[in-house]
């Protein structure tokens, strides 16, 4: 983890800069602390060496700590703080001469992507170059290391994208792209016409001056080249993290799961907001209920897997067989039993608690494919609660081409719409890596995810066109 300390004469300036940096901060890799102003209500402008020292001590767990200063006396305070620190801690500290605003953003973006300290400091020192080039200022390159042009072989992979962002690849999307690609074992280069840049460097991406409508090309080569290309495509489909919708545009932007466009009428998936669950009886009875619900759902999953194997193949049936194996886990049942016995919870309460913990654990994983499995866990939990409450899920009587709208959708929930006139699915949340997306693709249902909460305001029965090619849901 890298620590960054913003040392400024003005606390308001430092607070504003911190707020800006937080837009691209990964707190696991980069922690930011401010040491700004002095504790004098009448004369608050200034710097305090003690504040700087305390800020460094606050970040003592960091591998490296970068101090970024605004004006001359801020440097004096930083140097004084170093003299006051424990010598071992002082060895971690780097005084950086980069400009305060540009340097903060460059350091935050590079550190958040997991870059080395050498790369981070180099990014900071070059932070002004994009602005200087845009304003045709002379850039002093005497101290820069010559940049080696990447040489790609015939094995390199390539993809193109027409940028839709109204402001092009400005600082935030450039930081998101660099941070995303930094984690892949591949050399990646971004081209904009005859300009090229290291796609792992926010500053170099900014130098490309990519504007709306520009066709950019990403080239990748290395062991992770295909993964880097796929990740780039996903981020590009989501406009590099920018919300490009406006009040004049009646469409929402999401991520595509497959390519066709379909038209249908909006239908919001009913939500079982309340389950009619029985009250607590005895521990033995609650354990019996939980065990029976698990076994009953396993049986349903096995039947479903067999039928889907004939229709969609083994890969789809294996998803539900995997769910059945998860429910057959002795440790899972033991956790539910412990909740019932030690906390006197009902079978339903114990299942909700155990599955909620499991879902949270998946959501915290770094691997996007594994992370998406939380949707399966939530889906299984809801099915178990339906069984315990003896509640029949609401099955719609749809008679015309329909676009199904929902917050999220599990694989088992999707199966309820298998023999209905649903022609497409649009979710406000979800994941393009979910089993639901995989199954929907096999079923021939185009699907968009991560459309945002605006989807909830789409009026029922509105005519919609879902285009997974452009990742848009158009109303009217």
Is 338 within 8 Å of 319 (Cβ atoms)? no
Query: Which of the following is catalytic: 94, 170, 191, 268?
Result: 170
Query: Which of the following is catalytic: 154, 268, 435, 461?
Result: 435
Could you give the CA distance from residue 78 to residue 186 in angstroms, rounded to a whole number? 38
Could you give the CA distance from residue 114 to residue 116 in angstroms, rounded to a whole number? 7
Query: Which of the following is catalytic: 9, 64, 125, 238?
Result: 9
Check if 268 is active-site. Answer: no
CA distances from 391 to 107, 277, 385, 396, 457 (A): 54, 9, 8, 15, 28
SS3 assignment, position 252: strand
Query: In the chain, what's the furthest Cα-to-Cα distance?
Result: 80
Q: At what angle do helices 314-327 and 435-443 cross, to 10 degrees?
A: 150
Is 6 within 8 Å of 100 (Cβ atoms)? yes
Could you give the CA distance from residue 145 to residue 134 in angstroms, rounded to a whole number? 21
* Burial 259-286, CB ≥16 within 10 A → b, else e: eeebebbbbbbeeeeeeebeeeeeeeeb
If you compute the radius of gyration of the chain from its CA atoms, what whole number of angstroms results?
Answer: 27
CA-wise closest residue to 99 among 119, 129, 77, 133:
129
SS3 assignment, position 453: helix
Check if 435 is active-site. Answer: yes
Could you give the CA distance from residue 261 to residue 255 in angstroms, rounded to a whole number? 14
Strand order in the sheet with 30-36: 30-36, 2-8, 64-69, 93-96
Q: How far apart are the first and last CA of the chain?
A: 49
Check if 323 is active-site. Answer: no
Is 312 within 8 Å of 247 (Cβ atoms)? no
CA-wise closest residue to 316 among 425, 416, 440, 423:
440
What is the sign, positive or negative, of the torsion defined by CA atoms of 97, 100, 102, 106? positive
Instruction: Tokens 């959501």: give the residue.
Output: 363
Q: What is the DSSP string of 106-161?
A: HHHHHHHTT--HHHHHHHHHTTTHHHHHHTT-----TTSPPPPPP---TT-EEEEE
Q: List the catalytic residues.
A: 9, 170, 435
């Amino acid at each position: 983890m890298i620590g960054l300390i913003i040392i400024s004469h003005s606390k308001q300036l430092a607070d504003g800069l911190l707020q800006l940096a937080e837009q691209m901060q990964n707190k696991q890799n980069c922690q930011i602390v401010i040491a700004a102003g002095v504790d004098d209500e009448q004369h608050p402008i200034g710097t305090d060496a003690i504040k700087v020292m305390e800020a460094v001590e606050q970040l003592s767990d960091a591998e490296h700590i970068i101090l970024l200063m605004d004006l001359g006396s801020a440097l004096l305070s930083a140097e004084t703080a170093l003299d006051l620190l424990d010598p071992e801690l002082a060895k971690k500290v780097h005084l950086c001469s980069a400009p305060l605003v540009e340097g903060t953003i460059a350091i935050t973006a590079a550190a958040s992507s997991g870059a080395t300290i050498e790369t981070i400091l180099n990014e900071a020192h070059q932070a002004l170059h994009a602005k200087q080039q845009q304003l045709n200022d002379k850039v002093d390159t005497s101290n820069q290391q010559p940049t080696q042009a990447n040489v790609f072989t015939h094995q390199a992979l390539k993809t193109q994208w027409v940028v839709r962002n109204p402001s092009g690849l400005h600082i935030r999307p450039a930081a998101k792209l660099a941070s995303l690609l930094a984690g892949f074992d591949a050399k990646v280069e971004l081209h904009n016409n005859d300009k090229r840049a290291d796609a792992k460097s926010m500053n170099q991406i900014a130098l490309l001056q990519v504007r709306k409508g520009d066709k950019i090309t990403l080239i990748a080569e290395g062991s992770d080249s295909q993964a880097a290309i796929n990740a780039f495509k996903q981020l590009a489909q989501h406009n590099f993290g920018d919300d490009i919708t406006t009040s004049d545009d009646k469409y929402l932007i999401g991520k595509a799961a497959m390519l066709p466009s379909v038209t249908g009428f909006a239908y919001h998936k009913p939500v079982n907001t309340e389950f009619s669950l029985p009250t607590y009886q005895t521990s033995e009875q609650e354990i019996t209920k939980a065990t029976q619900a698990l076994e009953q759902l396993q049986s349903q999953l096995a039947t479903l897997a067999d039928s889907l194997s004939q229709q969609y193949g083994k890969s789809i049936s294996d998803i539900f067989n995997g769910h059945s194996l998860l429910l057959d886990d002795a440790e899972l049942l033991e956790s539910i039993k412990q909740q019932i016995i030690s906390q006197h919870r009902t079978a339903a309460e114990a299942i909700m608690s155990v599955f909620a913990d499991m879902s949270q654990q998946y959501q915290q994983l770094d691997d996007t494919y594994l992370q998406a499995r939380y949707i399966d866990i939530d889906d299984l939990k809801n099915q178990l609660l339906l069984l315990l409450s003896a509640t029949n899920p609401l099955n719609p009587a749809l008679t015309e081409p329909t676009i199904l709208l929902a917050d999220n959708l599990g694989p088992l929930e999707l199966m309820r719409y298998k023999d209905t006139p649903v022609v497409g699915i649009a979710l406000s949340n979800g994941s393009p890596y979910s089993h639901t997306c995989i199954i929907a693709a096999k079923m021939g249902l185009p699907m968009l995810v991560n459309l945002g909460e605006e989807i909830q305001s789409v009026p029922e029965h509105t005519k919609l066109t879902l285009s997974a090619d452009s990742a848009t849901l158009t109303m009217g």
